[in-house]
Amino acid sequence: MNSSTLTLGKTASQTPRLRLELRSLMQGRQEIEISHQGEVYRLRLTRNGKLILTK
């Protein structure tokens, strides 16, 4: 990754926070699946530019 798509910020507790550009995460798709603790979630980008996360 390059510096334009990956940045680290600091939270109140000074723990590094990862920031990804949605464009690099979605890679041109309107919907992706995210696996978390054995469950699959769908992250969808609407026509209006909103994000919807569903289980």
What DSSP assignment string belongs to 1-55? --TTTEEEEE-TT--EEEEE-HHHHHTT-SEEEEEETTEEEEEEE-TTS-EEEE-
Beta strand pairing status for 31-36 and 16-20? unpaired
Contact in structure between 53 and 40 (CB atoms under 8 Å): no
> What pLDDT, on the 0 to 100 scale, is given for residue 3?
45
> What pLDDT, on the 0 to 100 scale, is given for residue 15?
82
> What pLDDT, on the 0 to 100 scale, is given for residue 39?
98
> What pLDDT, on the 0 to 100 scale, is given for residue 43?
98
Q: Can you give the pLDDT of all 55 residues of the chain as single tens digits?
A: 454 555 666 656 778 899 999 999 999 999 999 999 999 999 999 999 999 999 9
Cα 35–40–44 angle (5° rounding)?
95
> What pLDDT, on the 0 to 100 scale, is given for residue 42?
98
